[in-house]
Structure 1
Amino acid sequence: MESGITVTGTGQATAPADLLRLTLSVGQDAADVATAVAEVAERTDAVTAALREQGVTLADIQTSSVNVHPQYADSMSVAGYRASHSMTVTTRDLTGFGRLLNAAVQAVGNSLGLDYLQFDVEDKSALLECARELAFAQARQKADQLAVLAGQTIGSIAAVAESYGHAPIREMAAKAVSGGFAPDLAVTPGEQTIEVSVEVRWTWS
């Protein structure tokens, strides 16, 4: 086994959110698959058009899932079918949550569902660099201390490994949206946190 020291350091960096993503779903029950799918497609188009009128670009409206499944009666016989279409909407207007929801509700009423909303940072490169520097500095500080305790001297770096992760700033779930929202409904963006861990191996000099 090679002599030396392996240390892990962690660093965190935060930045204000500059994106709001919300996932909207449109669902429809019908006696047959074709009708359910057709009506969901029509309602999805209506929601998309309403969001476009609010300034959301087509590139910022993306399908996240499409589902069709049977509905069963108490006798476990097929009573109909349910189709649904979920779409993720991205906006840089962090104050526009209520306005966008109202537009979608007005387009399709109770067929609309709000699955979740999430704030994010579009460009995380600066956050990663900052967190990485902090993680490496912590690893070096630990290595220096351990070397003193071991009566050794730090040599050259033999290997470096990195991992990172981040969590959504805020998430909420809701179903069967009805009645609309106040146009100025306030949501709090908060900050995005990135955490980087680095594992560094030094040889003894």
Structure 2
Amino acid sequence: MDEPSVTMTGSGTASVSPDVVRLDLRVGHEAAEVAAALSGAAAQVRVVGTVLREHGVAENDIRTIDTNVHQRYDNSGSPVGFTAEQRLGVTVRDLELVGTILESAASGVGNALLVDAVRLDVADRSEGLRRARDAAFAEALAKAEQYAALSGSELGRVREVVETGAMPVAMPRMAMAALDTMGGMPIEGGDLELHASVTIRWVLA
């Protein structure tokens, strides 16, 4: 017969200060032929890569997410050419440079550059997640102790610990003004929240 037990779920949150910005950039080029579309997109990507490196972005902080080519059609459904696109994932470790980088890249390739996402993040989540897990465990323990007391029992040993769900980064309040002649897009760090959730089973003594 199984031992009497109580199972509780707890969640915890830890605030951390963002120290990197993740950019999701897309560079495209239209042409009548596939080869010309691909070569044009490649040339634009090289321009953006040069801008990134000139502003101190390291090689391992620039990666290709995907590349695609699709055919374009006019309003009547007739093919009119091809568009080649490449998406880049970029990590910028100096928050103050984000606006300048985006403005310089846009100046280099014009409307060929699209910014799909600008996300604040932390390079190393381990300490923040440790604090979030501590808080999640403490919440589960407090509930388990209460239910044990209500049932006239005491908590015994832990039988099972399962971390449940993902630990996403909650987006902070982030101010992004339009690019202007005084400089690039300002990014305000604010706070990020890391979340942890755990389900724990205790034996009831």
Global fold match (TM > 0.5): yes
Q: 5 Å matches for 1:109-120? A: 109-120=110-121
Ranges in structure 1 where 5+ consecutive residues have no aligned partner: 173-177
Partner of 2:35: 34
1:74 aligns to what? 75
**Which residue in 2 is equivalent to 1:10?**
11
How far apart, CA to CA, are the structure 2 residues paired with 1:24 and 1:8? 39
4+ residue segments displaced more than 6 Å: 178-181
Q: Is the 8 A contact 2:105 2:113 kept in 1?
A: yes
| Offset from partner CA, 1:91-150 (integer Å, 9 cap, x none) | 111111221012101211121111110010111111111111111111111111001111
Deviation at residue 73 of structure 1 after TM alignment: 2.0
Alignment check: 8 A CA contact 1:98 1:184 kept? yes
Q: Structure 2: which 5+ residue stretches go unaligned?
A: none
Q: CA deviation at 1:168?
A: 5.0
Instruction: Give, in angstroms, the shift of residue 85 of structure 1.
Output: 0.9
Q: Following the alignment from structure 1 to structure 2, what is the Cα–Cα distance between the partners of residues 141 and 171? A: 32
Distance 1:195 1:189, change over 3 A: same
Identity of aligned residues (%): 37
Match of 1:165? 167
Using a 3 Å threshold, how does the CA distance of structure 1 residues 21 and 167 change in structure 2: closer, same or farther? same
TM-superposed CA distance for 1:203, in Å, is: 1.1
| DSSP-derived class of the 1:96 partner | helix
> Residue 179 of structure 2 contacts residue 185 of structure 2 at CA under 8 Å; is this kept in 1?
no
What TM-score, normalized by structure 1, do the two folds share? 0.90
